[in-house]
Structure 1
Amino acid sequence: MSIAHNNREAIVEQFNLSSPEDDKVISECQEVCRVYNITPINLFYKWEALQFNASSKAAVSPHFNMDAVGALKAQMQRELAATSSMKKQARGGPPQRFGPGAQRPRQTLTGMANKAVSGAASSGGLKGLSAVKQESGASAGGQAAVQFVDLTPKDASRESGSSWIGVWTKLRVDRYMFESLNERGNALDGMLDELALVIKEHYNLDDISDPSLSTEGTVTTVGRIAEDWESASTSDLKLLPATMVIEPSRGTGSGVRVPLRFADDVRVRGAPKGAGGIGVFPGAVVGLRGKNGGGDWFLVEEMLAMPPLKPPVKSSIPSAAPSMAIACGPYTAAADLDFKPWKNLLSRLIAERPKVVLLIGPFIDLNHGQMRDGNIDKSLDEMFEDIFLNPIVREFLATCSDSTVLLLPSVLDAISSYAVFPQAPFELGAHHPRIHLLANPSTFSLNGTTIAASSVDVLFHLGKQEHFFEIPEASDEAPPSGDEVKSDPTARRCRHLLQQRSFYPIYPVPPEVSNHVNLDLTHRRALKTDDSAGVAREIFITPSQLWQFCKMVDSTLFINPGQVMKGSYALGQLGQTLDFELKKLD
């Protein structure tokens, strides 16, 4: 089947053109798609934008006919001319200043990446480059080669239709901020149905009941914990039992929220041994056993904790254990843009020569006072080039000829084109072969060691939202735990990320931190912390403003490297035994 035929079918479907009189309109649309090299779906988006343009409503026909095609072609020509003018201005114009009222620019960074690499090559900095993945297992100097494999799901496309029947499309991939209420509802339902199946299989449940239906006997339901905003006080900062509701999926209970009441002798089943209870928060998926006697609320007699992930197992043992450094922004003090902490870190990295360096944003923080006031004298891409890219290429990579640098962005990064979470990688274009650009969040492996990493401070957010029920265990058969969860809230919150199978399990995002997350649930596949077999990652990197730590939680090593501006980073060894420690900058 030809491309033209496929385009014709797509145009007919998108614009609902079915009558014989529409043949000329369809042919004209095919020609527009060919000339402007766009797909029918993108042509339809442009038509929608033209309709919603306030200045054009009076001039554009509400029906898609030849007049509408003409108006659409004229608008596309104006956009093309404006884009060409902006490119010319960017090549020859003066440095821009960005103040509080300025729009966030879209950065491609391609030119500066090429310039940094070519500059390093001219100074001899690219001599002796080794491939990141080497079959021999050795590199220059006799040290271990680093085998990098990106494990981040590639199907982070938007969902269409009912998520429980697995209808997936690749429409609008990476077209962020196009999320509709229906898409978000389908994504939430899909996440809930997947976790409900995990609970059903783990606890050998025959059925999952609707909590809104009156029952005489005890039933089991699964849903998402939420807060009844009408009952909650505006001064309440945390979730409280009196305002909790359970929200089942639309397939189980039509999505109707049911208030919860807790029996005096309520117990927990499936919590780690010694936990002393269970923690919940808005968005947490839990199983509940109890009954609805009158239809107004559900009486909880037993809470079922989310089952743990399968422990990670190494498929092969590397020939050597490469060293790895982990650092997280901000990289400059709050009072200036001198980036002295970053320069100190770079000097330390050159001296320590780790095989892998993971740098996590924000690199140029939008919330920095100098940035908000517009007190900068160069463009954002020039700042990133001068402060980060050039020193990484010309100083660190030129000195450490077989090291690898991983760059992971932040929602608060001024140089990122995507201000939502999940977040696409930086757009460096052609860049240094030993610099890898990661999505946020990201999962990858280094010499067979699986790693999950994100820049969102989810632990701090969980600490503000979690309510811990101090209740006894329903049986003595609790899963073992390597730490005392009751006395260690940090370990308990780390465990939430594993059990809920999500980099950000809180929903909705707390209003006071919503601009730090900008959660886009229609890319929910990119939020999964486990692999397709339900196996946990060996290392989980979760930067936080909380006190830095390295902590083993359920066979996964959690690392909070702290912030470079506070003089903290992490350094350790990968391999069969993971050995990391927190380091201080001078």
Structure 2
Amino acid sequence: MEEEIKAEFTRNGFNFDDEEEILQKCLTFCIQYKLSASDLVSIWDIYSLNRGLEFTVRSSHMGAFLEQLQREQVDKVKQKDSGLHLYSNDVAMILHGNIEETEVILDTPNAKGTSAQEKLSDSAQKTTGGKFTFEKPLESVTPFGSRKSKFVVQTTINEQPNIQTIKVEEDHENSEDDIIKRVQPSQKCSLLIDRSQPEPGCRFMYDRIEDKFDFMENCIKKRAAAYVSSGQYEEPVDPSVASQKSIFAVGMICCEEEGRLKEKPILLQSSVEHSGGQRVRLDLQKLNQFSIFPGQVVGIEGHNPSGHCLIASKIIDTVPSSITSTEQLPSKRQALDHVIQSSKVSLIVAAGPFTTSGNLLFEPLTELLSYARRKQPQLLVLLGPFIDSDHPNLKKGNVDQTFDDMFRLEVLGKLQDYVEYMGSSVNVILMPSFRDANHDFVFPQPAFEIRPADFIHQIYSVSNPGMFSANEVKVACCTVDILKHLSAEEICRNPQGGSNFYPLYPPAEEVPLDFSLANEALQFSSVPDILILPSDLAHFVKVLSLGEGNNGEEQDKCLCINPGRLARGEGGGFFVEINYSGNPDSSTASIIRI
């Protein structure tokens, strides 16, 4: 097929600047849109004439040419639709987006008053899920589309060192193999939403001082109860009472002054039950090593000879593993599939933004889905922001769509096309961000409302933060950049643990933390198998040991992932491909630059 495409281009007088890459892409286009070599070259001929291009076919033009092919599919759909006829004397008018100048005739009036242009958009969305914004012209070359390397493996864990930094080109595998794989789908994974709080449509921005107090009090009381239940610690006492003997207290790290936490003065706020909520100064001079941040709930062993200062001899900042491993998951579970569970799952994880800062073409998302089509993971996890409120075009108001329409067409449309192409063996999980312009500006954040009537049941949304299980593998995610916020506030790096998606208090200024929703949504009782925390900091995949082992028992382990951002400025970013197999030590993961 590649030879036929090459021969057809040559017969029409075209040459290539990167023959291998262009032919691979053209072969993909032919397979995806069921085109012959002559059909493809004919469309390219019209495309190049309309744009005044030379006879050299350049790889940088392939992205815009793909959109041209998608528009050709829209034309086919309109021709097949007996109720809609489009008349125009100027083909270039359609190709360049001047749809409002065309004449549209409907056979019968629409009872619901739907406009013809909306009908065109809907049919376009159902066909390919690509970009069909007719009001603006195509951009032929973008910095993202003109890059040479498509996918490059940056880092791997639990694999041979020689596979690092291997250049992986798009469509590198034989396309015939891709077709064989597509008709032989992998086993579908089971999917359970362990927790999805708060609910869509919840009431927020009504939190009170009492809500903040109750949230902090509950954090302290739950941690104290966990320490006592483990049998390793005695009942906590009031740390503000003078005592010459060693005591054990549980409280929250606080800073007496505004700004970053310093070694002095540091305060410990105990619970109302034990100290009436009083604070006491905390002296850490006797400790060789510690790592604390404001809002962290810890256990303290030490003594307070004067009643004014608690001299710490030990800080316990983790929960015993016997507690975390035996606590039950939240009782509310939403069963999505009933498939045999195997504790193994393959997934690809990516975090927004999903379009570059120079445009709203969503090119990184398109190429991520192209990669996923070849790799065929059981689960695709996409974390917001999707319609980024920090995008330059949105800030300037240079958009001609509502944010909801943009999300529906550019994101959900592409994902629907992806799952329809892949078949029933894949699922997609979406998690919003408070930076999403089309969603509630609050944290914790309800899930996107994705109506099953509009999109097939393989696309799900969870709250932010949220937890779900895939083949009994517990996955926890949060799109707030807690790693960046903690790095700015903690005294020492590498905190040892915690049972809160956002343990920092007070929160960062940009985080709209609503304490009336925080009690149920931010706490998690068990250590997840995979913890996904997207951040602007350097991407990583690490195996962490959490909790305190009892009597020589092994600590709970968790695969902690920062997938980075899929788009970084005008260029591509990073995503993570994971093959989880039983436990973090036997699993493999790769960070891939797009």
**C-alpha displacement of 1:206:** 3.2
Query: Is 1:324 matched with 2:319?
Result: no
Alignment partner, residue 580 of structure 1: 589
User: C-alpha displacement at 1:331, in angstroms?
Assistant: 1.1
Shift of 1:94: 13
Residue 22 of structure 1 corresponds to none
Distance 2:201 2:352 in 1: 28
Equivalent residue letter for 1:286: V
Q: Secondary structure at the match of 1:529?
A: coil
2:203 alignment partner in structure 1: 175
Count the aligned residue pairs.
Answer: 399
- Counterparts of 1:517-556 in structure 2 under 5 Å? 517-520=512-515, 522-530=517-525, 535-554=526-545, 555-556=557-558
Q: Deviations 1:503-540 (Å, cap 9, x if unpaired)?
A: 11111113xxx32453435432221233xxxx311111
1:120–1:398 CA contact under 8 A, matched in 2: no
Choose from 429, 444, 448 the match for 1:422.
Answer: 444
Q: Identify the residue that residue 144 of structure 1 maps to in structure 2.
A: 187
CA shift digits 1:289-337 (9 cap, x unpaired): 2333333332223323323445869x99945944211110011223332
Could you tell me the TM-score, scaled by structure 1's length? Answer: 0.62
Distance 1:584 1:369 in 2: 23
**Residue of structure 1 equivalent to 2:212:** 184
Counterpart contact for 2:346–2:377, Cα < 8 Å: yes
Return the letter of the residue paired with 2:539: Q
Residues 115 and 249 from structure 1, CA distance in 2 versus in 1: closer, same or farther, beyond 3 angstroms?
farther
Q: Counterparts in 2 of 1:485-504, with a 5 A limit? A: 489=493, 492-493=494-495, 495-496=496-497, 500-504=498-502
531, 556, 559: which one aligns with 1:557: 559
Q: How far apart are the structure 1 equivalents of 2:588 and 2:503?
A: 28
CA 1:320–1:285 in 2, change beyond 3 Å: closer, same or farther?
closer
What corresponds to 2:357 in structure 1?
A: 334
Change in Cα spacing, 1:402 to 1:209, as seen in structure 2 (3 Å) is same
1:350 paired with 2:350, answer no
SS in 1 for 2:236: coil
SS at match of 1:188: helix
Per the alignment, do residues 116 and 366 of structure 1 end up closer, same or farther by CA in structure 2, a change over 3 Å counting? farther
**Per-residue deviation at 1:150?**
0.6
Which residue number in structure 2 is paired with residue 444 of structure 1? 468
Q: 1:297 aligns with which of 302, 309, 314?
A: 309
Report what 2:575 is aligned to.
569
Residue 242 (structure 2) aligned to one of 214, 232, 236 = 214
Secondary structure in 1 matching 2:510? helix
Task: Give the structure 2 partner of residue 119 of structure 1.
Answer: 126
1:563, distance to aligned residue in structure 2 (A): 0.7
1:387: which partner in 2?
410
Unaligned regions of 5+ residues in structure 1, if any? 1-89, 96-110, 124-138, 158-171, 268-276, 469-488
Evaluate the alpha carbon distance shift between residue 436 and residue 117 of structure 1 in structure 2; reply closer, same or farther with a 3 A threshold. Answer: farther
Hey, what's the Cα distance between the residues in 1 that align with 2:540 and 2:423? 28
Q: Percent identity?
A: 25
The residue matched to 1:394 in structure 2 has which SS? helix
2:269 aligned residue: 247
Cα distance in structure 2, aligned partners of 1:441 and 1:419:
14
What letter corresponds to residue 292 of structure 1 in structure 2?
N
**Deviation of the 1:438 alpha carbon:** 0.9
8 Å contact kept, 1:249–1:255: yes
Quote the offset at 1:347 in angstroms.
2.1
Report the AA paired with residue 145 of structure 1.
K
Distance in 2 separating the partners of 1:446 and 1:117: 32
SS of residue in 2 equivalent to 1:279: coil
Counterpart-to-counterpart distance in 1, 2:532 and 2:371 = 21
Offset of residue 173 of structure 1? 8.6
Structure 2 contact 223–319 (Cα < 8 Å) conserved: no
Task: Render the CA deviation track for 1:47-75: whole Å, top value 9, x for unaligned.
Answer: xxxxxxxxxxxxxxxxxxxxxxxxxxxxx
The one-letter code sitting in structure 2 at the alignment partner of 1:331 is F
8 Å contact from structure 1 (residues 539, 559) kept in 2: yes
Structure 2: stretches of 5+ with no match in the other structure = 1-111, 131-181, 330-338, 546-556
- Taking the aligned partners of 2:249 and 2:325, their CA distance within structure 1 comes to 30
Distance 1:536 1:117 in 2: 44
By how many angstroms is 1:575 displaced?
A: 3.3
Indicate if the aligned counterparts of 1:278 and 1:305 stay in contact, CA closer than 8 A.
no
Cα distance in structure 2, aligned partners of 1:286 and 1:203 = 17
- The CA distance in 1 between the partners of 2:190 and 2:441, in whole Å, is 30
* Contact preservation (8 Å) 1:457, 1:545: yes
Of 483, 500, 503, which aligns to 1:459? 483
What is the 5 A alignment of 1:280-295? 280-295=292-307
Contact 1:460 1:545 in 2 (8 A): yes
Letter in 2 for 1:283: G
SS at match of 2:243: coil
In the alignment, residue 380 of structure 1 is paired with which amino acid?
F
Report how far residue 182 of structure 1 moved.
Answer: 1.2
2:542 counterpart letter in structure 1: K
Distance 1:220 1:364, change over 3 A: same
Counterpart in the other structure of 2:87: none
Q: Distance in 2 between matches of 1:320 and 1:193?
A: 33
C-alpha separation between the residues in 1 aligned to 2:578 and 2:129? 33
The residue that corresponds to 2:74 in the other structure is: none
Amino acid at match of 2:544: V
In the alignment, the residues of structure 2 paired with residue 290 and residue 302 of structure 1 have an alpha-carbon distance, to the nearest angstrom, of 7
Report SS of the residue matched to 2:567. helix
Amino acid at match of 2:506: P
Q: When the two structures are superposed, what TM-score results if normalisation uses the length of structure 2?
A: 0.61
SS of corresponding position for 1:363: coil
CA distance, structure 1, for counterparts of residue 367 and residue 544 of structure 2: 32
Look up the match of 1:205: 233
Deviation at 1:193, TM superposition (A): 0.1
CA distance, structure 2, for counterparts of residue 212 and residue 367 of structure 1: 46
Question: In the alignment, which residue of structure 1 is the partner of 2:179?
Answer: none
Alpha-carbon separation, structure 2, partners of 1:548 and 1:382: 31
| Cα distance in structure 2, aligned partners of 1:117 and 1:553 | 46
Which structure has greater strand proportion? 2
What CA distance in whole angstroms lies between the structure 2 residues aligned with 1:383 and 1:338?
Answer: 11
2:230·2:320 contact (CA, 8 Å) conserved in 1?
A: no
- For residues 102-151 of structure 1, what are the alpha-carbon distances to aligned partners after superposition, in whole Å with 9 as ceiling and x for unaligned? xxxxxxxxx99x9589935999xxxxxxxxxxxxxxx9725211110110
Q: CA separation in 2, counterparts of 1:312 and 1:145?
A: 27
Residues 482-508 of structure 1: per-residue CA shift (max 9 Å, x gap): xxxxxxx4xx24x42xxx211111111
Q: Which residue of 1 aligns with 2:433?
A: 410
User: Does structure 2 retain, via aligned residues, the 8 Å contact 1:289–1:303?
Assistant: yes
Q: CA RMSD in A?
A: 3.4
- Aligned amino acid, residue 404 of structure 2: D
CA distance in 1, matches of 2:511, 2:237: 37
Separation (CA, whole Å) in 1 of partners of 2:521 and 2:267: 28
Give, in angstroms, the shift of residue 432 of structure 1.
1.6
